[in-house]
Amino acid sequence: MGFVVSIIGIAALFSGCSPKKEVGGFGDAAEKVYVAPGSYDEFYAFMSGGFSGQVSVYGLPSGRLFRVIPVFSVDPEKGYGYSEETKPLLMTSHGFVPWDDAHHPQLSVTDGQSDGRWLFINGNNTPRIARMDLTTFETVETIEIPNSGGNHGSPFLTPNNEYVVASTRFSVPIPQQDVSISSFKENFKGTISFISVDSVSGRMKIAFQILVPGINYDLSRSGKGPSHGWSFFSSYNSEQANTQLEVNASKNDKDFVAAINWKLAEELIAQGKGQDWTASHYHNYMDDADVGQSEVLNSVKVLVAKDHPGLMYYLPTPKSPHGCDIDPSGEYIVAGGKLAALIPVHSFSKFKKAAEASDFEGEFDGIPIVKYESVIAGEVKDPGLGPLHTEFDGQGFGYTSMFLSSEIVKWKIGTWEVVDRIPTYYSIGHLMIPGGDTKQPYGKYVVALNKITKDRYLPTGPELTQSAQLIDITGDKMKLLLDFPTIGEPHYAQALPATMIKDRSVRWYPIAENKNPFAIKAENESRIERDGKTVHVYMSTIRTHFVPDNIEGIKVGDKVYFHVTNLEQDWDVPHGFSVMGATTSELLVMPGQTRTLLWEPKMAGVIPFYCTDFCSALHQEMQGWIRVSS
Amino acid sequence: MNLGRTVSRMISLAGLLACGWLMGGCSSTPETDAERQARWQQGNLTSWEIQHGIGPVVEDIQLAAVDNALAERGKAIFVQKCATCHYLDMKKTGPPLRDVTKRRSAEYVMNQILNPEQMGKMHPDGRQLVAQYAQFMTIQGITRDNTLELLDFLRSEAGNPPAPMEQQPGFGTPPPPPTADAK
């Protein structure tokens, strides 16, 4: 190591080395990220796949990719969204929507700390929230959010998973109606949804929605400690412009952080103050038999914010704020004014006092605006350009990403002075510290989640990967350790200690407990049943054969359901199943699991099928034929 | 072991001595997989292991007479978890098993079921079978108590004449597929 370092040092002296290579300095970086073969990473990091609609799981500090969890997009690698069992998870009131734009992974919390049970993420485009089970790393539930024009500001959890909080990015006519777009101010509204989470099963349900003035609602965090019971949302376009927003939505010096008292909302709902609005939306979940179910719900409870004093306030915030983050103590609300030259920090205690004293500077569409001077705790001056998001290290410092100047800035809570900064490449969006949004961050690293990687890796044509950078924050000076490519846009990420998940990880499903109605528990139960034009093939897999492996009597025009049960009871032995010409995907069936492929033969002949997931030396022999008659 | 039967466990003197010699002082700590692997690479399998297999069963097992109730439970397990790969009287994915209890000790059968991967990699006979079948025996979540039930089933079948194929436990050709004119 010393030898390598000296070579680099000498090269730097003689060649003048490009400044980029010196970013952060390397020193002992390799040692700090090296995880020896057979050793485990310290943290699981869950990164959004952005426009891939998925979640990717990396180890920290190695940056190794462990898995991609399919969430909102079909995934042929895992048969997700192709098998009959998982298709229902992608159902919406718009039909089967096999894609979304997934932005903000959020780990479940107990008493404001990660509890390692579930991971939530939003579908931005067709408003949805998904829940993944961290014992299996599988998506087990999705819920559609009605009365929303784009689900960007979500899913942000209250401190005990009481609610997943979701705000609409685009205000739209609510309920939808055919009106002129120029009637934005009169007809367009926003909603903020509170989705309850069952503390045992994790099952979600829209508890209530709050109808709010028609502007753009963006990022959110829920309060904790003294601010428990409140949720805060950055918002922009207080101009309520509806065209050329890059000009027309940037006119006001200040927009808002919206503060919502969800404890009060709960009381109002309990008092019957919620209105029943018709709002068709899908709720999809894997049932006890591991089969996806869709239910259509037709109404939601709505509270109209301006009708309930004390439910909502606006905190003036410069300028076009994007991020909205709460420090570990729960006292400070940090907004990232993406067009502002400073980072405004509000004080919760000052806000509460101002709200109680009606210390307002006016109102916006019926919602009181608290005086800026009465709520601001401090401003981080000249931090850089384009402050976006802030996470905390638990040691009294905030770390803010600077989109325009591509850097992370570290500042001290209370004095608001900048104490360190480190360049990132390029156009950093979110940043993430393990536990950085919780009451007790784990600290140690900050991960920069970058949009652009020009010049950074070997070129791959016009499109380059997005990327993450791992930075050591244990010392006074931030230090770059590692960078690695990511899948899709690593919009936001969350991380927790590996020990919280590792030992609870499911290795296989006990075959005796398989409740899929089409499961078979032993090879001698395999069979073929015809019902009119529908054929059910109850098929088993084990290293290294299918039963049955010769199927005759299928006719053109039949609907053939292959119910494939993997009889293996061993870790990491899934089997695949694919049919020539099938218009869907393979199945990938976990040990002890049943998955179903629908196949509709279009021509007579003999069609082969085979296992796609290498399982043994006789994997190639794991195949069979289907005879199709006209 | 509440199986309503007598299973006595004894650490054999030879095993005890071997243990002391190989591990330098017979600590009560069980041997790790890595330690066992290292020992095997040095050619240090004990004669007990050669005879009785490599795995969690490290003591002599004494079996009583076949208990029919246990054998029935063993048959159910065989049908669900073993018949995927084994017939009694002919090769399938794995070898035929009717006379396995005559060919192998109870300890060997138990270790093969409970520790198939190391048996296939480290035991000379296990390696030979893997080479022959191009396949390691799969782990099917069978418990140690289950192996005793399976042993009674296999012992009850040992020595019986070969059964017709359709009477082989677990053998079930799927019912004939629907024919082209099936409705």
Q: Tell me the per-residue pLDDT of A197-247, one tens digit each, with 9 for 90 and over.
A: 999 999 999 999 999 999 999 999 999 999 999 999 999 999 999 999 989
- CB of A619 within 8 Å of a chain B CB? The answer is no
Report the DSSP beta bridge partners of residue A244.
none
Write the DSSP string, B153-166. Answer: HHHHHTTSPPPPGG
Report the C-alpha gap between A110 and B150 in whole angstroms: 46
Q: In this structure, are residues A258 and A212 in contact, taking their beta carbons and an 8 Å threshold? A: yes
Q: Is A371 on the interface with B (CB under 8 A)?
A: no
Cα separations in angstroms, B141 against A525, B15, B60, B85:
19, 28, 23, 15
- d(CA B7, CA B65) in angstroms, rounded, equals 11
Tell me the percentage of chain A whose pLDDT exceeds 70. 96
Which residue in the set A510, A547, A570 is minimally distant from B138, CB to CB? Answer: A570
Contacts of A527 in chain B (CB under 8 A): 174-175
pTM: 0.91
* A616 in contact with B, Cβ within 8 Å: yes
Nearest to B177 among A511, A553, A567 (CB): A553
Contacts of B151 (CB under 8 A, 6+ apart): B63, B74, B101, B106, B109, B110
- For the residues A48-64, what does the mean pLDDT come to? 97
Chain B residues whose beta carbon lies within 8 Å of the beta carbon of residue A547: 174
The mean pLDDT of chain A is: 94
Q: What is the pLDDT of residue A341?
A: 87
Residues B72 and B144 in one domain: yes
Cis peptide before B147 (omega within 30 of 0): no
Q: How far apart are CA A88 and CA B129, in angstroms?
A: 45
Per-residue confidence (pLDDT) for residue A319, from 0 to 100? 87
Q: B14: distance to nearest CA of chain A, Å?
A: 34
pLDDT digits (tens, 9 = 90+) for A96-113: 999 999 999 999 999 999
Contacts of A520 in chain B (CB under 8 A): none
pLDDT digits (tens, 9 = 90+) for B112-135: 999 999 999 999 999 999 999 999
Residues 76-105 of A with CB under 8 A from B: none
Q: What percent of chain A has pLDDT over 90?
A: 92
Q: Which residues of A touch B175 (CB under 8 A)?
A: 527-528
Q: Is the pLDDT of residue A84 over 90?
A: yes
Closest A-chain CA to B93: A544
> For B150, phi and psi rounded to 5 degrees?
-65, -40
B140 and A568 within 8 Å at the Cβ level: the answer is: yes
User: Would an 8 Å CB–CB cutoff place A567 in contact with chain B?
Assistant: yes
Question: Residue B33: its pLDDT value, please?
Answer: 85
Does the beta-carbon distance from B170 to A532 stay under 8 Å?
no
Side-chain-side CA neighbours of A23 within 13 Å: the count stands at: 19
Tokens of A225: 């400690």
What pLDDT score does B8 carry? 40
Percent of chain B with pLDDT over 90: 61
Does A534 contact chain B (CB < 8 Å)? no
Tell me the chain A residues in contact with residue B180 when contact means C-beta distances shorter than 8 Å. Answer: 552-553, 555, 629
Amino acid, single-letter form, for residue B113: I
- Contacts of A522 by beta carbon, 8 Å cutoff, 6+ apart: A540, A567, B79, B80, B81, B83, B84, B170
- Band (pLDDT 50/70/90 cuts) for residue B7 is very low
Contact B140 A569 (CB under 8 A): yes
Is B84 in contact with A542 (Cβ distance < 8 A)? yes
Domain count, chain B: 2
Q: Which residue do the tokens 């980029």 mark?
A: A20
Residue A372 CA to chain centroid, in angstroms?
A: 32
B141 and B165 inside one domain: yes
User: For residue A568, what is the nearest residue in chain B, using CA coordinates?
Assistant: B140
Taking residues A364-381, what's their average pLDDT?
A: 97
What mean pLDDT do residues A285-312 have?
98
Q: In Å, how far are A369, A415, B4 from A388, measured between CA atoms? A: 23, 20, 70
B162 lies in the same domain as B118: yes
Instruction: With CB atoms and an 8 Å threshold, state whether A524 touches B83.
Output: yes
- State the nearest Cα–Cα gap between A621 and chain B, in angstroms: 11
* Cβ–Cβ contact A528 with B under 8 A: yes
Q: Is the distance from CB of A392 to CB of A418 less than 8 angstroms?
A: no
pLDDT attached to residue B30: 79
Q: Are residues B55 and B71 in the same domain?
A: yes
Of A449, A446, A422, A448, residue with least CA distance to A434: A446
A260-281 pLDDT, tens digit per residue, is: 999 999 999 999 999 999 999 9
DSSP letter, residue B72: H
Q: For residues A547 and A4, which has the higher predicted lDDT (pLDDT)? A: A547
Closest among A223, A133, A113, A215 to A168, alpha carbons compared = A215
**A265: amino acid identity, one letter:** A
Quote the CA–CA distance of A324 and A318 in Å, as a whole number. Answer: 12
Which residue, chain included where needed, has tokens 């008092």?
A271
- Strands A623-629, A550-555: pairing is parallel
The pLDDT tens digits of the residues spanning A510-548 come to 999 999 999 999 999 999 999 999 999 999 999 999 999
Binned at pLDDT 50, 70 and 90, residue A153 comes out as: very high
- Per-residue pLDDT of A182-202, as tens digits, reads 999 999 999 999 999 999 999
For residue B144, name the pLDDT band (cuts at 50, 70, 90).
very high
Buried b (16+ CB within 10 A) or exposed e, A250-285: beeebbbbbbbbbebbbebbeeebbeebebebbbbb
Residue A54 CA to residue A46 CA, distance in Å, equals 10
Q: Which residue of B has its CA nearest to A556?
A: B180
- The boundaries of the domain holding residue B50 are 32-182
Phi, psi of A290 (to 5 degrees): 65, 35
The partner residue sitting opposite B141, judged by closest CB among A532, A553, A569, is A569
- In A, minimum Cα distance to B137 occurs at A543
DSSP A82-97: TSTTTGGGGEETTEE-
pLDDT at A7 over 70: no
Q: Give how far A576 is from chain B: nearest CA, Å.
A: 17
- CA distances (Å), origin A156, targets A3, A516, B144: 47, 33, 47
**Tally of helices (H runs) and strands (E runs) in chain A:** 8, 45
pLDDT band at B19 (very low <50, low <70, confident <90, very high): very low
Burial letters B128-153, b for 16+ CB under 10 A, else e: ebbeebebbbbbbbbeeebbbbbbbb
Specify the pLDDT at position B25: 40
Which amino acid is it at A586? Answer: E
Q: For A455, left (φ over 0), alpha (ψ -120 to 50), or beta?
A: left
B80–A570: do the CB atoms touch at under 8 Å? no
> Is pLDDT at B20 greater than 60 in this prediction?
no
Domain match, B131 and B166 both = yes
**pLDDT confidence bin for B177, thresholds 50/70/90:** low
Residues listed for chain A: 630
Which chain A residues have a beta carbon less than 8 Å from that of B85?
Answer: 542-543
pLDDT range class, residue A496, cuts 50, 70, 90: very high
B177 and A548 within 8 Å at the Cβ level: the answer is yes
Q: Is the pLDDT of residue A20 over 50?
A: no
Contact B136 A523 (CB under 8 A): no
Q: Which residue of B has its CA nearest to A541?
A: B84
Predicted pLDDT of residue A246: 87
Chain A residues whose CB is inside 8 A of the B172 CB are: 523-526
pLDDT digit string, tens, across residues A425-449: 889 999 999 999 999 999 999 999 9
Closest-CA distance of chain A to residue B12, Å: 32
Predicted local distance difference test score (pLDDT) of residue A228:
97
Residues B51 and B16 placed together within one structural domain of the fold? no
Q: Which of B85, B175, B178 sits opposite A535 (nearest CB)?
A: B178
Average pLDDT over residues A477-485: 96
Nearest residue in chain B measured CA to CA from A569: B140
Q: Is A566 on the interface with B (CB under 8 A)?
A: no
pLDDT computed for residue A139 by the predictor: 98
In degrees, rounded to 5, the angle at the alpha carbon of residue A240 between the alpha carbons of residues A239 and A246 is: 70
CATH at residue B39: 1.10.760.10
Q: Chain B residues with CB-CB distance to A under 8 A?
A: 79-81, 83-85, 93, 134-136, 138-141, 170-172, 174-175, 177-180, 182-183
Residue A569 three-state SS: coil
| Confidence grade of residue B6 (pLDDT, cut at 50, 70, 90) | very low
Q: Which amino acid is at B105?
A: S
pLDDT band at B5 (very low <50, low <70, confident <90, very high): very low
Contact yes or no for A516/A291 (Cβ under 8 A) = yes
> What whole-number distance in Å separates Cα of residue B7 and Cα of residue B146?
14
Task: Tell me the pLDDT of chain B averaged across its residues.
Answer: 83
CA A580 vs CA A497, A545, A594, A601, A624: distances in Å: 43, 18, 21, 10, 11
Q: What is the pLDDT of residue B44?
A: 87
- My answer on whether B161 and B171 are in the same domain is yes
Supply the pLDDT for residue B9. 38
- Say if residue B7 is in the same domain as residue B76: no
Residue pair A91/A604 in contact (Cβ under 8 Å)? The answer is no
Contact list, A565 vs chain B (CB under 8 Å)? none
- Residue B90 CB coordination number (10 Å): 13
| A522 exposure class (CB count in 10 Å sphere: 0-12, 13-18, 19+) | buried
A561 DSSP assignment? E
Q: Are residues B17 and B103 in the same domain?
A: no
pLDDT tens figures, A573-630: 999 999 999 999 999 999 999 999 999 999 999 999 999 999 999 999 999 999 999 9
| A569–chain B Cβ distance below 8 A for any pair | yes
Q: Which amino acid is at B37?
A: Q
Task: Choose the closest CB to B85 out of A535, A542, A573.
Answer: A542
Per-residue tokens: A44: 């699981």
Residue B179: per-residue pLDDT: 55
Q: Each residue of A317-328: pLDDT tens digit?
A: 998 899 999 999
- Lowest mean pLDDT, pick from A5-19, A127-141, A482-496, B93-107: A5-19
- What pLDDT score does A17 carry? 41
Q: What angle do CA A90, A46, A345 make, to 5 degrees?
A: 105
Report A:479-518 residues touching B (Cβ under 8 A): 508, 510-511
Mean pLDDT calculated for residue range A501-510? 97
Same domain, B9 and B71: no
Q: Are residues B88 and B21 in the same domain?
A: no
Residues B65 and B144 both lie in one domain: yes
* Cis preceding-peptide flag for A155 (omega within 30 of 0): yes
Task: Report the residue from A521, A524, A543 with minimal CB separation from B171.
Answer: A524
Using CB atoms, pick whichever of B81, B83, B179 lies closest to residue A553: B179
CA distances from B66 to A433, B72, B110, B160 (A): 63, 11, 16, 14
Q: Do B93 and A555 touch (CB under 8 A)?
A: no
